[in-house]
Structures are given as structure tokens and as C-alpha cells.
Amino acid sequence: MQVAAHLTRRIVSGGIEDGRAPSELDISREFGVSRVVARETLKILASLDIVDVAQGRRVVVRPRAEWDYLSPLLVEWLPSETVGELLRELHQLRALLEPELAAMAAASATDETLDRLKVQVDRMSELESEPDAYLEVDHEFHMEICRAADNRILDRIMYSARWLGTTSRRVTNEAPAGLHRATAQHTEIYEALVARDPAGARTAMRRHLSNNYSTLLAENEQKTKRADRRR
């Protein structure tokens, strides 16, 4: 895992020329590891769609657009600038899907689902001083709405993006009073669902995501300024 992380960062930084990745032998020699470890390293990179490995052929780096950006490993290994780009792209996905999911849920959510959402909204109010715990409840609130929409394909798409969603929430949770605002927005979504109001749920979710995106951009800008000052 350590060697795979190192090689991923090298590839991202442009440290590998001509699209040719290190072979098993190259990895073994450079990092002082066995051929077994080198082979497993390449398997990890291949599983993330970073490289192509074929018997009797050189190991080549795949186009970056084809990498598995939904993998928690890759998110952890990428530089902060690239993660920031991915979070902006995640927002585009959420803005396309979640308002419609909320509208679908308003029409189909059961009383049991609404009861669970109420518990989650109440928990958010209690956890505004505990960002990590809040994050878990926040994620489950959105997944509950997704499940209530009763579309298995959309459910799996949203679930697959959960690691990036967690990263995004960690950024927005750092904003002053960010969790208090988030609780109010989640409450607005919940109330539209209880009212069985698809249009209202769609609007409330869209407003929540728009506010999140504005916070995300502002927090990333502050991080960039702090990094510039340190340099």
C-alpha cells in the first residue's frame, strides 16, 4: 500500500515519462521489496485503473480520466488540488441527482422512513459541536432519502460516491456555524418530505446543495491562502 501510494503520487506529479510505469523488477529494486510485494503493488494500481498490466508486456499508465476516482484509496493518495477538483465535480453529480431524489422520496417515503429522518434531524441538532459524529448522521440522512426514492441504480451511484461525499462534508463542516446552518437546511428538506411536497423537497435540496458548494469554495480558498502564507 505504501509503495502504491508513492507511485500514484509520482504519476500524478508527472514523474513517470512516456506513460511507462515501473515493472515488478523496477519496483523490487527501487524500494527494496520482494517480487511478491512488487506484484501486489501493481495489482493495487491496476484495481484503481491507474495502470494496465499484461503478461509479457510493459506496464503502462492509463489516461487519468479513466482512474477510479470513487475509491477511498485514490482520494487519500491524490494531492489536495486534485481532490478539490473532484469535490467540485461531485457537487455537479449531487446537483443533478439529489433534488430529483428528494422529489421522488416526497411522493413515496413511508411513515417509517419519515420517522427515521426525524430522528436523524434531531441528532444533527444535538451533534453540532461534534463534526465527526454529525458527518455520519448527515450521510445517513441523504442515503435514507435515496433509498426512499426506491431506485436501485441511483442508490448504488450515490453509495459509490460516499467517500468523496465524506471528504466534502469534512471541508464544509469546518466553516464557522456551518453545522448549525446545515441542520436548518436538513430540517427544511425533512419538512417538505413530511408535507408530501415534491416541488418543495426538490427546492429545499437544491438550496442545501448550493449553500454547501458556496461553503466548499470559500473553505478551499481559505486553505489556499493559508498555504500561500506558509510558503
Q: For cell 435514507, name the residue.
A: 144
pLDDT for the residue 53: 86
Residues of the chain with pLDDT under 50: none
pLDDT for the residue 145: 97
Q: For cell 512488487, name the residue.
A: 38
pLDDT for the residue 55: 66
pLDDT for the residue 171: 80
Secondary structure of 34-63 as H, E, C letters: CHHHHHHHHHHHHHCCCEECCCCCCCEECC
Compute the distance between CA of residue 16 and CA of residue 62 in angstroms, rounded to an integer: 12
Instruction: Give residue-wise pLDDT tens across range 85-106.
Output: 999 999 999 999 999 999 999 9
Instruction: Give residue-wise pLDDT tens across range 147-175.
Output: 999 999 999 999 999 988 888 888 887 77
Instruction: Give residue-wise pLDDT tens across range 181-194.
Output: 999 999 999 999 99
**pTM exceeding the 0.95 threshold for the entire prediction:** no
